[in-house]
Structure 1
Amino acid sequence: MDIAVSDIERARSIPLDKIDVSAPDLYLRDAAHPYFARLRNEAPVHYCRESLYGPYWSVTKFNDIVEIDTNHKVFSSDASVGSFVLDDTTLNPVEGGIYLPNFLGMDPPKHDIHRQTVSPIVAPQNLANLEGLIRQRTRGVLDGLPVGVPFNWVDRVSIELTTMMLATLFDFPFDERRKLTRWSDVVTTRPGDGVVDSWEQRNQELYECAAYFQRLWAERAAAAPRPDLISMLAHSPAMRTMSPEEFLGTLALLIVGGNDTTRNSMSGGVLAHHLFPAEWSRVKADRALIPNMVSEIIRWQTPIAHMRRTALADFEFRGQHIRKGDKVVMWYLSGNRDDSVIDRPFDFVADRPRARHHLSFGFGIHRCLGNRLAELQLRILWEEVFERFSAIEVVGTPVRIPSNLVRGYADLPVVVHA
């Protein structure tokens, strides 16, 4: 953790009621940690009155986050009462945005019906069927990397591998697969964050996404059922009558869900090994540690920094009075650094005991649907990396994205050594 002294000092001195851990600049600079540390110690359930997103509660300790995440009867994800992210504008028609309803923004029973429709794509047998293809593609990407020459790991490896996987899950035209990456970035941003310049541009690109997938939907609906996500939706009695908004919202969720967690963990793992080189040597000497190391990468990176709920009723929680309608933000990034639950939480420890006991996939009914697929992709990547390279050297400052939702990278300059 390389945080400027000014952030550490400010986190200690700022009045508690003025702390706003939602500020995107904190994530661009990776400077949120000292503010979270103070909240965990002094105000683990903290009310921020003023922010870019309005007032909200922050829940910052591991066990408290699990309790909120598993209590969907009081803390709702339903888009009709709010949203499942802090920034309402990215999913609701606020300030010119588009309404993007999807099953992550639903409560039971509708949530369960929609989730079950697409869950076969990540069933154990289907993952087993995909493993050979994932390994073949991973080998191809790694074998094509320039040895001893700087390049951007994010673009050459992380984006390429996750976009290939997305194209397979959707049975999307393979030569146009980078459209999926672009649409994922557009969904999770607001104008001014460096992806789109205006709400009009954002809306136009999302409408283009909807039109493209509508053509695929029509083709799949007219054909026999196939084991891809669009065909599953088109042939589901519960889903084939979706409104255009629900269709686009569901697409947005599936694209982002299949992209951001894996993509940014692929990059975060490289940075972790760079900062903790002894762990590279440990795993290279004992490849049996790779599955455990993958879980530790996902915890250490925490590719989704938060999820948000809306209180359906007044509720007393840890001595704080949360009112009906209040935004309640579960900061997974903070919970994954809670030293009351995780020993040495800022360290990357490849053989960490119970490494899979982390918050990065969430808990409860909204636990990440594709968590096993993400782990499979990461395991194969690192198995193949250790076969080929003696080191992956980070040769410049990582460029992060200014998002309090997706904790990710735009550029990670590296050199690989044969």
Structure 2
Amino acid sequence: MATQAQPAQQFRSAPIAHEALRAHIAEHPEDALRHPHPWDTSRSDIYVENRWQPIFAEMRAAGPVHYIPESPYGPYWSVVSHKAIQHTEALPELFSSSWEHGGITILNPMSDETLAAEGRERFELPMFIAMDRPKHTGQRRTVAPAFTPAEMKRLEHDVRTRTGQLLDRLPHGETFDWVSEVSIPLTTGMLAILFGFPWEDRHLLTFWSDWAGDTEIATVRALDDQRMDILREMGAYFGQLWVERMQAEPTPDLISMMIHSEAMNQMDPQEFMGNLVLLIVGGNDTTRNTMSGIVHELDRFPDQRALFESDAATIPNAVQECIRYQTPLKHMRRTCTQDTELFGQNIAAGDKVLLWYNSANRDEDVFENADALDITRENARRHLSFGYGIHRCVGARLAELQLRVLMEEMHARRMRVSVAGEVERVRANFVEGFRRLEVEITRF
């Protein structure tokens, strides 16, 4: 849809989120987080260095639920087994997702006293994943029609065409960054289509996603004003699109769906921004990083790459196994609403409860030889990468479609992608993925 919305000048000069964080830590090393507890898996160093697996394995061997008394985010409970996470997710009234209780990440909202002392106003971004029933139900139902099987069938031709065209432009026999050349363009383009977003400005969706979804940068108070300004300008841009869609006939894009829904057409600006952040981060970071993870994992497990290359029929299950292995979101947070017992542990009302999906997906009681990639794994679909229960990812089918098509189009071109240089992982306790993945393409 044509639009008069124009990006703010700030977007053209503002740093990328992870570059801003890196620069701040370089200037203020005292702000680097310290983690005295050996089982505090909120620390980002274990993820950027890819050494988190033994820590969770030790925790699972000791029990499904553990209390972490001290961390930069305060005390919390870690739920680390597949069974315990499903059990907790199945009790949404007891273990709340609501932003009013703390939301879905380990981050702590600033206290009223701290806000007053710093002369700040509270800046909340309510979103339906961070709501409890019944409000969650109505808002989720509004966007769910965009992700039905029928919609996936309608979108598949476009997804396949764009994927094929991009793969055909890639260089062979030379090193390039798969993240910037493949994973980001494919997912950003898909988001632009879902929102009916101006195609020439689609790069802004990636920019906003990085600033909104980076839990590490959200802990750096010195970057608060810049982050909030960027999110507000995102809201202003989408606000213009909202006004335009109000004056037009309903269309299948997500903004139009919100406008023409009783559950969402009266959202205040903060709630509108919150749901945009949810849909942008959920649709961008997760699929983007799994697209990179597929390449990295097949390179690490050459026997599995050989299976993939020899038989395209392995692809649907390979997608599920790669999603299990990659686990694009490491955790979700819940807040206990009343005193209860969880697998022998006494959880108090108000306690923060962290559900570690990356640990559940490596649970040896569910997945045999869980630290290995096995694209023929019979129960790969039991992964918890999309969550479980009422908050299971609404866009799961779209993610699966994009990943399946990518693997099918790579196979059709007999494209072998090998890691050939730098591998830089995301420094974060929330999103799992790659900043940079240097590869080289050959044919099999």
Question: Does the alignment reach a TM-score above 0.5?
Answer: yes
Query: How far apart are 1:89 and its partner, in Å?
Result: 4.7
1:26 paired to 2:40: no
State the match for 2:136 in structure 1. 111
State the match for 1:261 in structure 2. 286
1:163 paired to 2:195: no
1:322 & 1:222 partners in 2: Cα distance? 50
1:240 paired to 2:259: no
2:391 & 2:219 partners in 1: Cα distance? 29
Runs of at least 4 residues off by over 4 Å: 15-18, 92-97, 190-197
State the match for 1:316 in structure 2. 341
The verdict on how the C-alpha distance between 1:99 and 1:296 changes in structure 2, with shifts beyond 3 A counting, is same
State the match for 2:432 in structure 1. 407
2:67 aligned residue (24, 43, 47):
47
State the match for 1:3 in structure 2. none
State the match for 1:202 in structure 2. 227
1:56 paired to 2:76: yes
State the match for 1:77 in structure 2. 97
Say if 1:191 and 1:199, in contact at 8 Å, map to a contact too: no
Query: How far apart are 1:329 and its partner, in Å?
Result: 0.4
State the match for 2:373 in structure 1. 348
State the match for 1:4 in structure 2. none
1:362 & 1:22 partners in 2: Cα distance? 19
The AA in structure 2 aligned to 1:275 is R
1:366-396 residue CA offsets vs partner (Å, 9 max, x unmatched): 0000101100000000001112244211012
State the match for 2:19 in structure 1. none
Say if 2:97 and 2:335, in contact at 8 Å, map to a contact too: yes
Once the two structures are overlaid, the 10-residue window that deviates more, 396-405 or 329-338, is 396-405
TM normalised by structure 1 equals: 0.93
Say if 2:286 and 2:329, in contact at 8 Å, map to a contact too: yes
1:138 & 1:17 partners in 2: Cα distance? 44
Any idea what SS the aligned residue of 2:355 has? strand
Say if 2:126 and 2:275, in contact at 8 Å, map to a contact too: yes
1:391-406 to structure 2, matched below 5 A, reads: 391-406=416-431
Query: How far apart are 1:195 and its partner, in Å?
Result: 11
2:57 & 2:437 partners in 1: Cα distance? 27
Say if 2:364 and 2:370, in contact at 8 Å, map to a contact too: yes
1:341 & 1:177 partners in 2: Cα distance? 40
The AA in structure 2 aligned to 1:343 is E
1:65 & 1:157 partners in 2: Cα distance? 33
1:227 paired to 2:252: yes
1:113-163 residue CA offsets vs partner (Å, 9 max, x unmatched): 000001111011111110000000001110111111111101100000000
State the match for 2:58 in structure 1. 38
State the match for 1:98 in structure 2. 123
State the match for 1:9 in structure 2. none
The AA in structure 2 aligned to 1:50 is E
State the match for 2:392 in structure 1. 367
Structure 2 unaligned runs (5+)?
Answer: 1-34
State the match for 1:10 in structure 2. none
2:148 & 2:354 partners in 1: Cα distance? 30
1:252-293 residue CA offsets vs partner (Å, 9 max, x unmatched): 001111112211110001011000011111122111110000
The AA in structure 1 aligned to 2:58 is R
1:348 & 1:335 partners in 2: Cα distance? 15
Say if 1:305 and 1:407, in contact at 8 Å, map to a contact too: yes
The verdict on how the C-alpha distance between 1:31 and 1:196 changes in structure 2, with shifts beyond 3 A counting, is farther
State the match for 1:153 in structure 2. 178
1:299 paired to 2:319: no
2:289 & 2:216 partners in 1: Cα distance? 22
Query: How far apart are 1:105 and its partner, in Å?
Result: 0.6
Say if 2:287 and 2:399, in contact at 8 Å, map to a contact too: yes
Query: How far apart are 1:16 and its partner, in Å?
Result: 11
1:408 & 1:212 partners in 2: Cα distance? 28
Say if 2:76 and 2:351, in contact at 8 Å, map to a contact too: yes
Query: How far apart are 1:93 and its partner, in Å?
Result: 12
1:336 paired to 2:356: no
TM normalised by structure 2 equals: 0.87
Say if 1:88 and 1:94, in contact at 8 Å, map to a contact too: no
The verdict on how the C-alpha distance between 1:344 and 1:288 changes in structure 2, with shifts beyond 3 A counting, is same
Say if 2:367 and 2:379, in contact at 8 Å, map to a contact too: no
